[in-house]
């Protein structure tokens, strides 16, 4: 078994890398960490995740074979603010509710029709435990 930090990045084919970056910046606060010809790499501060926005034309963008991807909330009471941020940034909320009591969710599409989920999940036995990072702080 190879130890990892879990799924840490996804590359999205999008029509407009700048527009997609702004959308995820406005909803999740991602920051640009690298830029190249036809792409922007962004990261959510305080996490290991990376979103890569790659330029694609026409029907090449969108979820394709990817059903959806998700962002896990720290607090369940933030779900309505998350849905509002999606709408304010130009996304379309497609469904909102609770999987089970105490686990709210919202599904939405971004400007390139990628289906994305924001949810809160009650703690599970597989959740990471904060450990000291050798560079300082907690990982």
The pLDDT of residue 129 is above 70: yes
Cβ atoms of 35 and 54 within 8 Å: the answer is no
pTM for this entry: 0.74
The pLDDT of residue 65 is above 90: no
**Residue 132 domain-assigned (yes or no):** no
**Residue 125 domain-assigned (yes or no):** no
Longest dimension (CA), the chain: 46
Taking the C-alpha atoms of residue 65 and residue 12, their distance in angstroms, rounded to an integer, is 12
**Residue 42 domain-assigned (yes or no):** yes
Return the percentage of the chain with pLDDT > 70, whole number.
84
Domain harbouring 106, CATH code: 3.10.180.10
Mean pLDDT of all residues belonging to the chain? 85
**Residue 103 domain-assigned (yes or no):** yes
**Residue 137 domain-assigned (yes or no):** no
Higher local confidence (pLDDT), 110 or 68:
110
Please compute the mean of the pLDDT values over residues 42-63 and round it to a whole number.
Answer: 79
Q: What is the pLDDT of residues 115-125, one digit of tens each?
A: 999 999 888 77
**Residue 23 domain-assigned (yes or no):** yes
Closest CA to 28 of 75, 77, 73: 73
Q: What is the pLDDT of residues 6-46, one digit of tens each?
A: 777 898 889 899 999 999 999 999 999 999 999 999 999 88
Higher local confidence (pLDDT), 133 or 57:
57
Question: Which range of residues forms the domain containing residue 48?
Answer: 9-57+67-119
Question: What is the number of structural domains in the chain?
Answer: 1
What's the pLDDT at 62?
59
Q: CB under 8 Å to 10, separation ≥6 — which residues? A: 50, 51, 52, 66, 69
Here the contacts of 108-113 (C-beta below 8 Å, separation 24 or greater) are 108/83, 110/20, 110/23, 110/24, 111/14, 111/15, 111/16, 111/19, 111/20, 111/23, 112/12, 112/13, 112/14, 112/15, 112/20, 112/61, 112/62, 113/61, 113/62, 113/63
What's the pLDDT at 104?
95
**Residue 128 domain-assigned (yes or no):** no
**Residue 3 domain-assigned (yes or no):** no
């Amino acid at each position: 078994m190879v130890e990892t930090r879990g799924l840490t990045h996804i590359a999205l084919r999008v029509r407009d890398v700048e527009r997609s970056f702004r959308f995820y910046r406005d909803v999740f606060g991602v920051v640009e960490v690298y830029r190249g010809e036809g792409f922007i790499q962004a990261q959510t501060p305080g996490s290991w995740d990376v979103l890569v926005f790659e330029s694609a034309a026409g029907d090449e963008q969108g979820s394709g074979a990817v059903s959806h991807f998700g962002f896990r909330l720290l607090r369940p009471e933030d779900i309505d603010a998350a849905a509002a941020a999606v709408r304010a940034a130009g996304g379309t909320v497609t469904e909102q509710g609770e999987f089970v009591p105490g686990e709210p969710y919202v599904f939405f599409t971004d400007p390139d029709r990628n289906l994305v989920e924001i949810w809160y999940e009650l703690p599970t036995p597989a959740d990471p435990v904060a450990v000291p990072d050798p560079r300082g702080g907690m990982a």
